[in-house]
Amino acid sequence: MIKILCNEKIFSISGHANFAKKGCDIICSAISAIVFGALNAFENIGNIEIKKNNILIQLMKKISLEDKIRFEMMIAQIKNVADNYPKNVDLKIKLKKKLNNI
CATH code (residue 30): 3.30.70.1490
Is 98 within the bounds of a domain? no
pTM for this entry: 0.87
Higher-pLDDT residue of 53 and 11 is 11
Q: Exposed, middle or buried by CB within 10 Å (0-12, 13-18, 19+), for 22?
A: exposed
Name which of 6, 7, 30 is nearest 16 in CA terms.
30
Domain span holding position 70? 2-93
Is 65 within the bounds of a domain? yes
Q: Which residues contact 36 (CB under 8 A, 6 or more apart)?
A: none
Give the count of domains, the chain. Answer: 1
Is 63 within the bounds of a domain? yes
Residues facing 90 on adjacent strands: 3
pLDDT score of 95 more than 90: no
pLDDT score of 98 more than 70: no
Is 100 within the bounds of a domain? no
